[in-house]
Homo-oligomer: A and B are copies of this chain.
Amino acid sequence: MEKIETKKRKHSETENVAGNKCLSSIFKDFKLIKVLREDARHKLITLHGTMPIPERGVGDGSKTFENHDDHNDAVVILERNAFNTSSLVDNIRLTETLETLHNDIYSTHNVFNFKDIVNADIKATVICPATDKHIIKYSEHEPFIIHETQHLYNTVTLPCIQNSNLSLQWVYNILEKKKEADRIIVDDPDPDVGFVMVPDMKWDRKHMDALYAVAIVHKHGIKSIRDLRGEHLPLLENILKLGQTAIKEKFNVTSDKLRVYFHYQPSYYHLHVHFTHVKFDAPGSDVLRAHLIQEVMDNIAMDSEYYKNRTLSFVVRENDLLCQKYKDSGYFS
C-alpha cells in the first residue's frame, strides 16, 4: 500500500518530465560492489551491485516479481543516449558553460545543466537477480593477441574447436528454414555454392546506414577461412555477387557502400560472411578480426593453400576457452 502511494507521488512529481508516463526509480536502493567495465568512447559503463528485484513497471497488468529482499546481485549496463536532434537546440540554449581552452577562433567548454525534458539521458539494462556467469560475461576481460601459425592451429585451436563441441543446430534451423524463414533476404539452394542471407540481430532493418546481414553457406564442414582452398572460389564469388545484388534490390544499398568480410576467429564454426554498411563502425570490423572477402578470394586464387599455411593474428580474451588452451600450451611463457 505504501508502495503504491510512493509511486503515485513520484508520478505527479515527474509528470512534466516525461508526459503522463509512470516514472519510478529502480536505482534508489542500488549499492555498488564493483565497476565491471568502462567504455569511455561509447559512453557506457557496466556495474555489479545489489538492488531489489525490479517490479514490472509497464502497465500490462501481468504478474510482478516478489521482492524477497534488497540484496540481490545485479548487473547494470548504463549507456548515454545519442543527442536528439529535434530538441537539442532548445536545450543547449538553456545550459551553463565553462570555458576550458581558448585559442584564436577555437574554444572548448564544459557544458552543465543540459536538460532534455522529453528524451531520456541514459538507457539502462538491468539483469537482476544476476548469476556469477552474468557478472563474468559483463566484466572487462584482458585481451591478448595470438599469432596463430599453421602448427598452432593444428595443435591448439583445432582441438579446442573440436572438443568444445558447440551445437550448430540454430544455424541448420536457418538453412532448413525452420527458423527465421520470414527474415530471409536471399536464398540460393545450390548445395555447393548456395547460401542463405539473413539480417544480423544487431540490425533494426530500418536504418540503412547500419545495415548488417550475414550469408551462411549451405555446405557443411567449412569451419572458417582456415579451411578455404582454391576450389571454394566459385562459392565465394557467388556469395559476393548474389549478396550484393540482393542488398541493392531489397535495401537500395550499392556495393560501393558494403564492407564484405569473414571473422577470424568466427563466433561459430560454420562458414559465413558479414555484409555491413561502410558507415557503420561494426563490432568485429577491426583488422585483428576481419578479412575482406575480395582479399581472401585473391589470396586463394594465387595460392590454394594460402589460409592453410598462413600465420593469422586475432585477439583472445582471458575468459575464452581458446585463451585458456593457449595458456596451457605455454604460448605466453
Residues of A within 8 A of B (CB): 10, 14, 17-18, 21-32, 35, 38-43, 45, 47, 49, 54, 56-58, 78, 80-83, 85, 88-89, 92-102, 105-114, 120-130, 143-147, 255-259, 261, 278-279, 281, 285-292, 294-295, 298, 302-303, 310-311, 313, 315, 332
Contacts and interface: CB of A to CB of B under 8 A. Distances in A.
A83 B45 contact: yes
A21 B111 CA distance: 13
Contacts of A258: 145
Given A18-B98, A298-B310, A121 B127 contact: no
A10 B112 CA distance: 13
B95 A27 contact: yes
Contact of A287 (B23, B105, B114, B285): B285
Most interface-central of A286, A287, A298, A303 (chain B CB within 10 A):
A287
A109 B96 contact: no
A279 B143 contact: yes
A287 B264 CA distance: 12
A146 B255 CA distance: 10
Given A17-B113, A121-B111, A286-B287, A81 B43 contact: yes
B85 A35 contact: yes
A216 B118 CA distance: 50
Contact of A58 (B18, B32, B102, B146): B102
21 contacts: A10-B96, A14-B113, A24-B98, A25-B93, A25-B95, A30-B93, A32-B89, A45-B83, A57-B98, A57-B102, A105-B128, A108-B125, A110-B122, A111-B124, A145-B258, A278-B315, A286-B287, A287-B287, A287-B290, A294-B313, A298-B311
The DSSP consensus for interface residues of chain A is: mixed
| Copies held by the complex | 2
Central interface residue in A10, A25, A81, A93, by most chain B CB within 10 Å: A25
A18 B298 contact: no
Nearest to A144: B256
B113 A126 contact: no
A311 B294 contact: yes
A78 B124 contact: no
A77 B35 CA distance: 29
A125 B107 contact: yes
A109 B32 CA distance: 18
Contact of A313 (B94, B112, B295): B295
A14 B112 contact: yes
Contact of A54 (B42, B99, B122, B302): B99
Question: Among the interface residues A27, A40, A128, A332, which one has the most CB atoms of the partner chain B within 10 A?
Answer: A27
Contacts of A25: 93-97
Contacts of A111: 27, 78, 120-124
Contact of A259 (B41, B92, B127, B288): B288
